[in-house]
């Protein structure tokens, strides 16, 4: 430790302040397109490398450059990585929002600001540090046009100094960030160093926040959910990928393209995949179905607006029984409605996407690790059940960086489902495409190109009999509808089971899913510690619901269903599925602000609904 640290340390504790170690949220307020992304990643990584559990959330506008952006880093020794409502340390870089950002802080927070903004006059219950960025950046960055970018790395150095983040870790993080660009790495480190030196010589530590080394991140990785989904899809053996760009799903396919080019080119230099940017989502899903029908493992990634366009084809897939995987990275919508904000708003519409009676299998990851592992589940289920499988991620999971244990190599073999080959047909003589031979509702299919005169069948929507001949007979139609429903019932025992935590003494249950999980685990502790409310918890991981879900509701007096949408969408699906007498046990806690769910909001609402 440098000796100057000691001096600063001593300066802290003014007014008998208690040191707050490894428990804070840092918010960086910048302008979209100003290049603060790398600085924020470096800050996040530096804390991570010091062994402190951390999460980073980018709150960005639907804009390429010019509008305000906030990046929040939460460091928490207890491993709580949900969004924290309160900001402890603000880095105010955006003149436009600076005033409002400062005014919204709770007393005691610290503010680091660009000197000309003169924010210290705004309030007297905060700690202010000013930094003359323009003066500091000039000597380290002679090239004027790079200064705007490099300036951001200065605050990393200042924050490092003030919070006691190890500069060696900052340097390591910078070198990782600019791995292939040594010059950029040097330049950025010089900027961070200039910030650090300035803080050491000119700022006096007055806030209580510190980062100190821990051992809670050893061996862990940092990755965003979309990259994890891309990796998962590659290891699940995807061969045909189609897409139409849309935030927040584009990066999933863009990352997948990189991975596939690196790891899925054969020794002969030929691709073992095809990736096509389609003309729209109608074509994207059509290609997925064409490929799935012809036997490929096919997928697309999209968000709500794309899902809406896919509706007709989704129904055809359901009735023609064609496999495919669709990643739905949920966001707020439609049109220009907060497209860059997170949401769990497509649960209900995706579950029944299309017209007529349709019910789709949905998998719901809560973590980057599940984005990875559920890819294999999704492709296997799609081929096993010959239907679309939707993986319901969201913007918070997909586009933000999360720490995780390294992913485990998939142990489940690739399951191609019931496909008859030429040899099978030689043995059987013929087959009936839509006949329930095994009692699970799932028929046998053949792939186009199978060299057998009895291999072909005619694929169409609902109007067919067991031999896939055109039929409008009521009995054929009804039998087919019932069989397809049976498949869905069969799927209940094959989809991922929920994660259930029971304390054995709770009358209250919480049901949540996806990224809400992170707020819930923290909220349960708050409810216990602050209100003495004990809760059991079930995290849904799939639709259709499995046996455990019904049992959980049956075992609790009241069950709070927490979700990030207005209309209690999952609760509605549960209502359709559970015994009518249990319906009144369900209570909704719904959040619709476009920000990732935080624990405090849940705790406040649940405790007040419990009359506390």
Near another protein by CB under 8 A: residue from 23, 459, 467, 490: 459
313 binds another protein (CB under 8 A): yes
CB of 451 to another protein, least distance (A): 5
3-state secondary structure 495-531: CCCCEEECCCCCCEEEEEECCHHHHHHHHHHHHHHHH
304 binds another protein (CB under 8 A): no
Give how far the C-alpha of residue 204 lies from the chain's centroid of Cα atoms, to the nearest Å: 39
C-alpha to C-alpha distance for 379 and 372, rounded to whole angstroms: 12
Classify residue 471 by its DSSP letter. -
382 binds another protein (CB under 8 A): no
Classify residue 14 by its DSSP letter. G
Listed ranges 96-104, 358-366, 406-414, 571-579: which one lies at the site for another protein (CB under 8 A): 406-414
222-261 residues labelled b (16+ CB within 10 A) or e (exposed): bbbbbbbbbbbbbbbbbbbbbbbebbbbbbbbebbbeebe
CB of 375 to another protein, least distance (A): 11
296 binds another protein (CB under 8 A): yes
Query: x/- string (CB under 8 A) for another protein, residues 147-176?
Result: ------------------------------
Query: x/- string (CB under 8 A) for another protein, residues 259-288?
Result: x---xx-x-xxxxxxx-x-xxx-xxxxxxx
CB of 414 to another protein, least distance (A): 5
Report 409-428 residues binding another protein (CB under 8 A): 409-410, 413-414
CB of 416 to another protein, least distance (A): 9
117 vs 185 by CB, closer to another protein: 185
Near another protein by CB under 8 A: residue from 31, 136, 187, 223: 223
C-alpha to C-alpha distance for 303 and 312, rounded to whole angstroms: 16
CB of 232 to another protein, least distance (A): 10
580 binds another protein (CB under 8 A): no
CB of 35 to another protein, least distance (A): 23
268 vs 581 by CB, closer to another protein: 268
Strand partners, 432: none
C-alpha to C-alpha distance for 357 and 445, rounded to whole angstroms: 23
C-alpha to C-alpha distance for 220 and 404, rounded to whole angstroms: 6
Near another protein by CB under 8 A: residue from 16, 219, 474, 504: 219
259 vs 477 by CB, closer to another protein: 259
413 vs 580 by CB, closer to another protein: 413
263 vs 489 by CB, closer to another protein: 263
Rounded (5°) CA angle 365-370-374 = 85
54 binds another protein (CB under 8 A): no
Cα dihedral 38/39/40/46 (nearest 10): 110
* Contact yes or no for 522/604 (Cβ under 8 A): no
Omega cis (within 30) before 248: yes
C-alpha to C-alpha distance for 249 and 328, rounded to whole angstroms: 7
Element (H, E) at 165: none
Sign of the dihedral through C-alpha 309, 312, 315, 319: negative
C-alpha to C-alpha distance for 502 and 487, rounded to whole angstroms: 31
Listed ranges 295-303, 471-479, 562-570, 601-609: which one lies at the site for another protein (CB under 8 A): 295-303
Listed ranges 139-147, 296-304, 436-444, 565-573: which one lies at the site for another protein (CB under 8 A): 296-304
* Contact yes or no for 247/340 (Cβ under 8 A): yes
**Number of shown-chain residues binding another protein (CB under 8 A):** 73
Near another protein by CB under 8 A: residue from 458, 489, 576, 608: 458
446 binds another protein (CB under 8 A): yes
The phi, psi pair for 522, rounded to 5°, reads: -75, -40
Report 465-524 residues binding another protein (CB under 8 A): 469-470
CB of 452 to another protein, least distance (A): 7
Listed ranges 76-84, 139-147, 453-461, 541-549: which one lies at the site for another protein (CB under 8 A): 453-461
448 binds another protein (CB under 8 A): yes
CB of 525 to another protein, least distance (A): 29
289 binds another protein (CB under 8 A): yes
CB of 263 to another protein, least distance (A): 5
Give how far the C-alpha of residue 565 lies from the chain's centroid of Cα atoms, to the nearest Å: 16
* Contact yes or no for 135/202 (Cβ under 8 A): no
535-547 residues labelled b (16+ CB within 10 A) or e (exposed): bbbbbbbbbbbbe
526 binds another protein (CB under 8 A): no
Near another protein by CB under 8 A: residue from 242, 387, 546, 603: 242
Q: Render 204-229 in DSSP notation, one character per residue.
A: ---S-EE----SSSTT-EEEEHHHHH
319 binds another protein (CB under 8 A): no
279 vs 475 by CB, closer to another protein: 279
Rounded (5°) CA angle 78-84-85 = 150
406 binds another protein (CB under 8 A): yes
CB of 221 to another protein, least distance (A): 4
CB of 239 to another protein, least distance (A): 4
* Contact yes or no for 31/148 (Cβ under 8 A): no
316 binds another protein (CB under 8 A): yes
Near another protein by CB under 8 A: residue from 113, 209, 244, 407: 407
CB of 26 to another protein, least distance (A): 22
Near another protein by CB under 8 A: residue from 87, 173, 222, 540: 222
Give the sheet arrangement for strand 558-563, strand by strand. Answer: 499-501, 535-540, 508-513, 558-563, 586-590
């Amino acid at each position: 430790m440098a000796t100057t640290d000691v001096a600063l340390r001593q300066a802290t504790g003014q007014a008998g302040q208690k040191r707050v170690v490894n428990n804070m949220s840092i918010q960086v307020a910048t302008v979209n397109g100003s290049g603060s992304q790398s600085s924020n990643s470096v800050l996040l990584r530096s804390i991570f490398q010091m062994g402190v559990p951390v999460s980073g959330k980018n709150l960005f506008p639907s804009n390429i450059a010019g509008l305000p952006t906030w990046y929040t880093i939460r460091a928490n020794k207890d491993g709580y990585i949900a969004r924290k409502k309160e900001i402890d340390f603000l880095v105010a870089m955006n003149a436009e929002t600076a005033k409002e950002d400062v005014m919204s802080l709770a007393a005691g927070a610290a503010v680091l600001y660009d000197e000309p903004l003169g924010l210290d006059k705004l309030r007297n219950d905060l700690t202010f540090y000013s930094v003359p960025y323009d003066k500091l950046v000039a000597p380290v960055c002679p090239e004027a046009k790079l200064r705007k970018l490099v300036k951001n790395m200065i605050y990393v150095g200042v924050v490092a100094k003030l919070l006691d983040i190890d500069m060696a870790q900052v340097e390591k993080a910078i070198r990782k960030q600019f791995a292939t660009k040594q010059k950029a790495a040097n330049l950025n480190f010089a900027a961070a160093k200039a910030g650090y030196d300035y803080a050491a010589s000119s700022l006096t530590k007055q806030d209580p926040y510190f980062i100190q080394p821990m051992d809670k991140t050893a061996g862990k990785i940092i990755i965003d959910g979309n990259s994890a989904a891309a990796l998962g899809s590659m290891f699940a053996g995807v061969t045909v990928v189609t897409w139409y760009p849309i935030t927040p799903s584009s990066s999933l396919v863009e990352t997948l393209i990189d991975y596939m080019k690196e790891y899925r080119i054969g020794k002969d230099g030929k691709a073992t995949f095809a990736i096509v940017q389609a003309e729209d989502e109608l074509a994207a899903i059509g290609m997925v179905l064409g490929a799935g029908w012809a036997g490929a493992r096919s997928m697309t990634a999209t968000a709500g607006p794309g899902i809406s366009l896919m509706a007709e084809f989704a129904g055809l897939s359901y009735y023609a029984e064609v496999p495919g995987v669709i990643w739905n990275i949920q966001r707020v919508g439609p049109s220009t409605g907060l497209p860059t904000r997170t949401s769990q708003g497509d649960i209900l519409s995706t579950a029944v996407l299309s017209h007529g009676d349709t019910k789709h299998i949905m998998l719901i990851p809560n973590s980057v690790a599940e984005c990875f592992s559920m890819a294999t589940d999704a492709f296997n289920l799609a081929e096993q059940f010959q239907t679309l499988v939707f993986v319901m991620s969201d913007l918070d999971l997909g586009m933000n960086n999360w720490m995780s244990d390294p992913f485990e190599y998939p142990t489940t073999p690739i399951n191609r489902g019931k496909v008859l080959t030429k040899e099978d047909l030689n043995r059987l003589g013929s087959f009936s495409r839509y006949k329930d031979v095994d009692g699970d509702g799932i028929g046998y299919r053949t792939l186009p190109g199978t060299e057998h005169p009895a291999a072909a069948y005619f694929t169409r929507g609902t109007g067919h009999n067991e031999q896939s001949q055109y039929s409008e007979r009521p009995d054929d139609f009804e039998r087919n509808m019932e069989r397809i429903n049976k498949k869905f019932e069969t799927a209940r025992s094959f989809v991922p089971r929920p994660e259930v935590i029971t304390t054995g003494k709770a009358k209250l249950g919480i049901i949540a899913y996806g990224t809400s999980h992170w707020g819930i685990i923290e909220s349960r502790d708050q409810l216990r510690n602050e209100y003495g409310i004990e809760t059991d918890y079930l995290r849904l991981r799939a639709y259709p619901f499995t046996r455990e879900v019904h049992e959980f509701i049956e075992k609790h007096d009241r069950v709070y269903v927490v979700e990030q949408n207005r209309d209690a969408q999952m609760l509605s699906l549960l209502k359709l599925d559970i015994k009518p007498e249990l319906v009144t046990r369900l209570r909704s806690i719904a959040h619709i602000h476009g920000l990732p769910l935080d624990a405090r909001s849940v705790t406040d609402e649940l405790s007040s609904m419990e009359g506390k």
